[in-house]
Chains A and B, each alone.
Chain A
Amino acid sequence: MRQVSITVNGAEHVLELEPRELLVYVLRERLGLTGTNVGCDTSSCGACTVLLDGESVKSCTLLGVQVDGHEITTIEGLATNGTMHPVQEAFHEQHGLQCGYCTPGFIMATVSLLDETPNPTEEEIRHALEGNLCRCTGYHNIIRAVQTAAGVEV
């Protein structure tokens, strides 16, 4: 077992972890932050996407012990005082989710995308989301949601 300190959504947590514990399970089962979902076992689907020091990563492809001393933001950390983040708002407005299982991953990937590329074209958006899979929406409204969050009229 190894003791680590991870800051998640602004709160520091000191945890005793088995090295093999994946970050996604640390978040979900150690910290009860079940918003981040597991959709596959080959790093293909992106449902587990969170922010690590502000950058999107797949939390299923990281060990909890690897992020000792780092900052994680999960979907639960986006809204502030009950007010949804603009990206969350945009997904709602544009009907960018149906079953919602892939949605936290898409939202975190979008936050990271817009941080790096504030005015992406449709093609740039589609490519930036190539690591996130959705089976319900056909992506059309997800793209609209990202565009809306970027301030583009859709």
Chain B
Amino acid sequence: MKSEGQFSHIILFTAARFARNLAGFRFCGKDGQPQAAAAGVEQGAALEALSGGFTVTAESADFGTKRALAERYIFEGDPYSSAPATAVIAKEMALSVNDREHIKVFAFEPGLAPAAALAKAKNATDELGRKIPYSFSRDFGFLTAAPREAGTGLKIFALANLPALELAGRTADVLKTLPNLRLNHTPLNAETFALSGPLHIISNMTTLCAAPEEIAAALERGLRFLITAEQTTRIELASGPERIKMEDSAFRAMALLQNARSISYEETAVLLSNAMLGLAMGYDLKVKQDALSWLLTACKPGHIALACATAKHKPTPQERDVLRAALLRKTLTLPQESI
């Protein structure tokens, strides 16, 4: 994801996703396996309806690809399941079939852009809805296997990078206010990541009783609140005695990233976040924001495993840490114009 969006040093990306099921078919099972009635659905046929708008680049049949797709927020089912889930990816758009729901349409935008992401996803979903019938009820709206997403079927989310708030120890206080705006927050990769940290996924809580545009507007209000809090804290830190602490954390992060020989993803994410803070403050780190944003995704365990796995050997977690460090060294020591 390019860093050309609005406030892209704080909001790394915004994404919108619509979940839809086909009328007349059962939902996918809890393990993603299509039920008897839906088993005959040829995935290609659903994709056919979208021909022209999307390009097929991956079929998530194996564990590695599914895991990498999950790390890109596209696949939500169980990567160990043998269910025939399919993902179609095009530039800043994605479509998944038979992954918990029959169809999910994603749109990604760099920086703070809930309205733009929503418009893109909505257009594609509506276009598809004119070709194939969706499961719909007057009482519950668009029906989904998970009732918490029924209604609009919309999940709109953003990845927020809040290193200054983390340095000042104010992250929890600021995030505590989000539920008032009907928004959820989870730390990036909540399963393995530290409970709190600088990177958080902010998403909508309600799907039933508000229009998609209202949900996107609520997310934008929440994100603007976070941006203001982060920017105020950055100015406070930069103009006070903590300035040296912030400068030190940015340069130390770059030094570690450029020289590590084995590094976990948890540590990488925190260091990348600190380096991004340094760049936003104007320190000469000799690196581009694009490279740091790209590394935040490319260093995830599934991506490292997918890039380095061979037919005979899949890298162990320890080997992945070594490979990650090698990727970081290679990327961050290259002349930045070539990235």
Chain A bound to chain B: no
A interface, CB within 8 angstroms of B: none
